[in-house]
Amino acid sequence: MSLPHAILTALVEKPSSGLELTRRFDKSIAYFWSATHQQIYRELGKLEADGLIRALPGEQPARGQKKSYEVLPAGREELARWTAAAQDPKPLRDAMLLRLRAAAVVGTTGIEADLRRHLELHERQLAEYEEIEKRDFPPGRDSPEDRLRHLVLRAGLDLEAFWTRWLEHALAEFAELPGDGPARDTRSSSPARPLRTGTASSGGAGTRQRR
């Protein structure tokens, strides 16, 4: 729904080829939108067919050759229209949170390592964004454009900070948890019997695949 608009935005900021776009998405767009090179090329084709962008004149190369695109007036208008239109926020879907909730009924064996790994990933991401902030938004510059872009980076940065803190908190909680974690349904009729269900040992090697 909004990949085309992400590409339009990037191209208005600076005309680019598919690969350049891919790099810019990885580098300085990733903190609010991510996309693979396959998605980008596909969408560039559609946007060109729709008359919203065009290949920069001058080069007319075939497969395996750079081709840069720029935004046409129609593209700019579409982007302005989309930006102003009301949109509902999309509901949350976070696998790690789900896994933790699942762990409450099925046992905590194994997640802790991945929590730790995620913590590292988020810490690294956070550090990277802080670099970007230092580089792209030094105290001096604060044109309206800069302030808006800085605002967006702050969101990405603060979200990473949030996850970092949350994961630390979660790990601290784990440290206080008894033994190998719970595996029963609190609402089931079984009383305070501290049973150790089979999940941890039996499922074991993780052989089972779905479908």
Partner DNA sequence: CGATTTTGTGCAACTAGTTGCACAAAATCG
- DSSP state, residue 50: T
Determine if 27 is a binding residue for a second copy (CB under 8 A): no
The CB-of-39 to a second copy minimum distance in angstroms stands at 11
Phi-psi region of 196 (alpha: psi -120 to 50; beta: other; left: phi over 0): beta
Out of DNA, a second copy, none, which partner does residue 156 contact, by CB within 5 to 8 A per kind? a second copy
Please give the Cα distance from 114 to 119 (Å, whole number): 8
Asked whether the beta carbons of 79 and 8 are under 8 A apart, the reply is: yes
Q: Write down how long the chain is.
A: 211
Choose the stretch contacting a second copy; rule: CB under 8 A; options: 16-24, 27-35, 53-61, 126-134: 27-35
User: Which member of 8, 44, 53, 126 binds a second copy (CB under 8 A)?
Assistant: 8
Give the 3-state secondary structure percentages of the chain, helix then strand then coil, rounded to 5.
60, 5, 35
Residue closer to DNA by CB (options 41, 162) is 41
The CB-of-170 to DNA minimum distance in angstroms stands at 22
Q: Determine how many CB atoms are found less than 10 A away from the CB of residue 18.
A: 20
Please give the Cα distance from 144 to 90 (Å, whole number): 27
Site for a second copy in 120-179 (CB under 8 A): 121-122, 143-149, 151-152, 154-156, 158-159, 162-163, 166, 169-170, 173, 176-178
Choose the stretch contacting a second copy; rule: CB under 8 A; options: 16-24, 54-62, 86-94, 127-135: 86-94
Please give the Cα distance from 81 to 126 (Å, whole number): 33
Binding flags for DNA, 3-42, as an x/- string (CB under 7 A): x-------------xxxx-------------xxxxxx-xx
Instruction: Enter the tokens of residue 96.
Output: 């790690």
Determine if 52 is a binding residue for DNA (CB under 7 A): no
The CB-of-207 to DNA minimum distance in angstroms stands at 18
Instruction: Enter the tokens of residue 131.
Output: 């670099």
Q: Which residues bind DNA (CB under 7 A)?
A: 1-3, 17-20, 34-39, 41-42, 44-45, 62-67, 90-91, 93, 211
